[in-house]
Structure 1
Amino acid sequence: MAIEPLAYRMRPKTLDDVIGQQHLIGPHTPLYKMITQGHVPSILLYGEPGIGKTSIAYAIAGSSNLPFFALNATQSGKKDIEDIVVEVRLHGKVLLFLDEIHRFNKLQQDTLLPHVESGGIVLIGATTENPFHDVNPAIRSRCGEIAQLKRLTVEEMCTVLQRALTDRERGLGKYAIDIREEQLTMIATASNGDARKALTLLESVYYASDDVDNTTVISDRAIESLAKRIGVYGDQKGSHFYNLLSALQKSVRGSDIDAAMYYLAHLLESGDLVAVNRRLLVMAYEDVGIANPSVGAHVLAAVQAAERLGMPEARIPLANAVAMMCLNEKSNSAYKAVDAATRAIHEGKTGDIPLHLRDTHYAGATTLGHGGYQYPHDFPIGSFGGWVNQQYLPDELVGTQFYTPTSAGEEKRLAAIYERLQQFKRT
């Protein structure tokens, strides 16, 4: 068998060999038509590992007549770019695949940019990070398309695996292998949309299985055992990690407990317990809010327990916290109110603090006119405690309403009190 890994050997040679990503590179897309007609634009390919960025770059190279060069930004320097520029002088135009393009520093980018702009270098940049966050704007502006790739479906992954099993030249086609369709589905599902993982797992399972009468018989046990080792992608400093945090919060906000548990599990597998705890605590106050004020305290207790326990036990209190927030009433009225007040300040809607609210704990305060504050506790009002009708906002903002209550959970009761106090103000 060849020395190169199966995933490397099975890279598509042309655009027609690409499985998946049909929204980007399918026969009816503008990009496919441009490339097959000889016009290759500079593009940025963005997506998680193993979903086809490198494969598409090599397929584009195989479908064009341009001299092709591949670099990885983590290992390349200014000298490597200068070598490519020499090739530009020899050939007039070259196709450069630059993996991990977001790793390029300013000097490397400055060396590359004029040649991309002049068309001497047709750039295919690949990145696992959001290009709008992590790729220099000058690079982005010179790329005709920024393409976000999708994970392969289980069906597409099975097609990838079937092709590897039948390809006699590059794959496993020349070997007698007994593998059932449901076993292919097991491998495809375990790979979680990552074709590289799927092919690596298939190759590992092949080597780990028994030979019976000159036929390798794939066993479920080998698949299950090796599938546990392929890991979960989750760069703690990368875009995908923050996408997971965002998806968790939006699922909790939308009260979808199943989705929330999925994203919580993925985040915990990624390993950054601190970031997960911080986000859960924020959610308790941002999304549940005063619809149920006790949730904040419960989530804080869960977070503190998780910090003391560490993984894997930390998942237990955190799962409780997520479930509680998912199934509780929701309100964002309180933080929306402070945001509205902040906007007003930034817009210049400010004024002097009323004299009766100013500090009087020093000699001379009355000389400045400070004083006259009425102590609300001295004016009992039913079971509420105390309230007195006096001005609190600056003169310029009297009548401004920042808080808009919602009728959710505990806030329904608070909203009724708020409306009653507003009536008192008007009488």
Structure 2
Amino acid sequence: MRPRDLSEIVGQQHLVAPGKIIWRMVEAKMLSSMILYGPPGTGKTSIASAIAGSTKYAFRTLNAATDSKKELQVVAEEAKMSGTVILLLDEIHRLDKAKQDFLLPHLESGRIILVGATTENPYLSINPAIRSRTQIFEVHPLTNDEISLAIDRALTDQERGLGSLPLQLDDDARQRLITAANGDLRSTLNGLELAAKSTPKNEAGIIKLTLDVIANSIQRPSLSFDKNGDNHYNIISALQKSIRGSDTDAALHYLARLVVGGDLPIIARRLLVIAYEDIGLANPPVAQRVVAAIQTAQQIGFPEARIPLANAVIEMCLSPKSNSAIMAIDAAINRVNKGNLGDIPNHLKDAHYQGAAKLGHGVDYLYPHNYPEDWVKQQYLPDNLKNDQYYEPKTNGQFEQAYRDQYYRLLNAQRKS
């Protein structure tokens, strides 16, 4: 069911629909090299094949990880003879320097139109020399409606699909087929083909594809758990942003995806970051409870580890939030990075060694514990920074309300002449 031209592509209409960028490139016969990145089974190879079919150019497929420079040379020789070759280079993020150096001149000349395919974020994983010579397009998981359309085509196409078979696909089986692949059309069609060709006809001569037949023919939802992959970091990002946004159900969903992937270390690290970055001073005890939950999870392991992790996530979602601590330290770091920091006041400098007093170090230092409420007015910042203020208190929780009142009381007392 590989598309023969752009009109047969299912999904990715933001790229291939009439008037969109790839459609315009083909229509104008002004193809440029590109990188397509996104999850497996979403149409990267299909787009390359359809471009070739729509333009009638020669189409070749290589894998950057497994095919050698010699195979690239064969494609280059063919391009010299035929004029233009569209080369689909799968796993382009694995292209080594020798292959890259060979390929670059051919991309410059336009003899090879490169369509790189990768599941990795090209801005993070692909050499800048290749990126600068290509356009980068993201492809997305197919929607349920798009997968349903592809199933209809596969069931009715007698030449390339299953239309010649006496198939009957039950409605609940169809729904399971649509949703189980998580937007991966290749997985959907593979499951459908396996079910159709491994199921005997019934007494009426019909191959009846029931829910049980489909369930036995497809794998579990095809989630990506590559711990170095772009999608993995997207899940981690979504988890933190869902907790930050107090959406308990969304946070549990993304936690579940990480739990199913078995990645306890990254869950632990991210939950600790969230506790201090997003809950922070609004509810400081949460941080200690998150630590306890993580220690428990590490001791008992999966599958039971999911329970304390869920407790921590739910509590953080429903806790008051404050990012005042991270904002304060980042403001202080930004000030340091700008330079011109000034000299530390002499009375704060180290005075434990002989001769410090002659330098004026430690002289006139006022020891706060010798004063009422363990506080005394004295300058701590350098002269040129003495009016800097980095901490901006929030009032989302009772803890930070108390910190705010104390902070401003001391700040005002310090700044009184």
Please say whether Structure 1 and Structure 2 have the same fold, judged by a TM-score greater than 0.5: yes
Percent identity between the aligned chains? 49
Distance in 2, Cα, partners of 1:387 & 1:196: 69
Distance in 2, Cα, partners of 1:376 & 1:159: 75
Distance in 1, Cα, partners of 2:337 & 2:160: 63
Q: Which amino acid aligns with 1:388?
A: V
Are 2:237 and 1:246 aligned? yes
Are 2:104 and 1:113 aligned? yes
Q: Which residue of 2 aligns with 1:194?
A: 184
Distance in 1, Cα, partners of 2:256 & 2:327: 30
Q: CA deviation at 1:297?
A: 0.8
TM-score (norm 2): 0.95
Are 2:273 and 1:282 aligned? yes
Are 2:404 and 1:415 aligned? yes
Instruction: Please list the CA deviations of residues 259-284 of structure 1 after superposition, one character each: whole Å capped at 9, or x if unmatched.
Output: 11111111222232211211111111
Give the unaligned 5+ runs of structure 2: none
Q: Which residue of 1 aligns with 2:175?
A: 185
Q: Which residue of 2 aligns with 1:68?
A: 59
Is the 2:173–2:212 Cα contact (8 Å) retained in structure 1?
no
Distance in 1, Cα, partners of 2:369 & 2:291: 31
Is the 1:331–1:406 Cα contact (8 Å) retained in structure 2?
yes
Aligned length: 413
Is the 1:349–1:397 Cα contact (8 Å) retained in structure 2?
no
Q: Which amino acid aligns with 2:261?
A: S
1:251-330 mapped onto 2 (5 Å cutoff): 251-330=242-321
Distance in 1, Cα, partners of 2:221 & 2:162: 21
Q: Which residue of 2 aligns with 1:160?
A: 150
Is the 1:66–1:93 Cα contact (8 Å) retained in structure 2?
yes
Are 2:129 and 1:141 aligned? no
SS in 2 for 1:367: helix
1:363-382 mapped onto 2 (5 Å cutoff): 363-371=354-362, 372-381=364-373
Instruction: Please list the CA deviations of residues 200-249 of structure 1 after superposition, one character each: whole Å capped at 9, or x if unmatched.
Output: 22233335646322212222223345545454222111111111111111
Q: Which amino acid aligns with 2:297?
A: A
Is the 2:181–2:220 Cα contact (8 Å) retained in structure 1?
no
Q: Which residue of 2 aligns with 1:357?
A: 348
Distance 1:230 1:398, change over 3 A: closer
Are 2:8 and 1:23 aligned? no
Q: Which amino acid aligns with 1:378?
A: N
Distance in 1, Cα, partners of 2:282 & 2:340: 29
Are 2:201 and 1:211 aligned? yes
Q: CA deviation at 1:67?
A: 1.2
SS in 2 for 1:390: coil
Distance in 2, Cα, partners of 1:283 & 1:343: 22
SS in 1 for 2:325: helix
Distance in 2, Cα, partners of 1:154 & 1:195: 10
Instruction: Please list the CA deviations of residues 116-148 of structure 1 after superposition, one character each: whole Å capped at 9, or x if unmatched.
Output: 0111111111111111111111211212x3111
Is the 1:232–1:269 Cα contact (8 Å) retained in structure 2?
no
Q: Which is further off, 85-94 or 370-379?
A: 370-379
Is the 1:45–1:126 Cα contact (8 Å) retained in structure 2?
yes
Is the 1:206–1:216 Cα contact (8 Å) retained in structure 2?
yes
Distance in 2, Cα, partners of 1:387 & 1:225: 72
Is the 1:236–1:271 Cα contact (8 Å) retained in structure 2?
no
Q: Which is further off, 408-417 or 283-292?
A: 408-417
Q: Which amino acid aligns with 1:390?
A: Q
Q: Which amino acid aligns with 1:93?
A: T
Q: Which residue of 1 aligns with 2:391?
A: 403
Distance 1:304 1:208, change over 3 A: farther
Give the unaligned 5+ runs of structure 1: 1-9
